[in-house]
Amino acid sequence: MSYQAYIDTIRTKTGLTPDDFKALAQEKGLLNPGVKTGEIVAWLKEDYGLGQGHAMAIVLWFREENTPKLSLDERIDNFFNSSRSNWRDTYDQLMKNLEKFGGDVTADPTDTYISLLKGSKKFAVLGLTADRMDIGIKLKGVEPGGRFELAGSWNSMVTHRVRITAPNQVDAEVLAWLKNAYHAA
């Protein structure tokens, strides 16, 4: 079930929106510093008959509402503010190359990886550690070849991956695979 489906079900069941729950939680002091998630979940279960998953969706909404919204540049900077910082120049050069594919290439970082998008369609992901950049691409029905292998359980959103251990390994072969994935998206 998607996050939005949880919110829709809660609204149908209770007649309340997340904003309504926020106001009620504030009245009860449940949004004050130091209040544990379990206290909020118990309140939502007891007073509104929500299950664990639905209650956690409301708690997540509270957290997202109170978290400052960062720009894309700030999110990317945060992604590289750690042991992954040594890959920043490689990432920046890769993005310059990807922009040549078309003006609709964007990046969408999470805490653990960066999605590469053509418009709203994901065509690749970047997973980084201090020692390696894994590039996963989405190319259904294409046999692995060259340095690319099947993604397997590494990331279910992509079909193939290549393991990069040095910046110069982001070469013509890697860019060709990325370009094929971009055009297939």
Residues 34 and 112 in one domain: no
User: For residue 67, is pLDDT > 90?
Assistant: no
CA distances for 8 relative to 53, 57, 122, 153, angstroms: 13, 11, 26, 32
Residues 50 and 14 in one domain: yes
Residues 52 and 79 in one domain: no
117 within 8 A of 87, measured Cβ to Cβ: no
- Where are any strands of DSSP class E within 80-138? 105-109, 113-118, 121-128, 133-137
Closest by CA to 63, choosing from 81, 27, 28, 36, is: 36
Q: What is the pLDDT of residues 133-161, one digit of tens each?
A: 999 999 999 999 999 999 999 988 999 99
Q: What is the pLDDT of residues 26-62, one digit of tens each?
A: 999 998 888 999 999 999 999 999 999 999 999 988 8
Q: Supply the pLDDT for residue 64.
A: 79
Residues 9 and 87 in one domain: no
3-state secondary structure at position 120: coil
Residue carrying structure tokens 């009245």: 27
Tell me the mean pLDDT in the region 76-88.
92
The total number of structural domains in the chain stands at: 2
Distance CA(14)–CA(16), nearest Å, equals 5
Q: What percent of the chain has pLDDT over 90?
A: 79
Residues 62 and 104 in one domain: no
Token duo for residue 25: 């939680």
Residues 42 and 91 in one domain: no
Domain span at residue 59 reads: 3-66
Residues 76 and 167 in one domain: yes
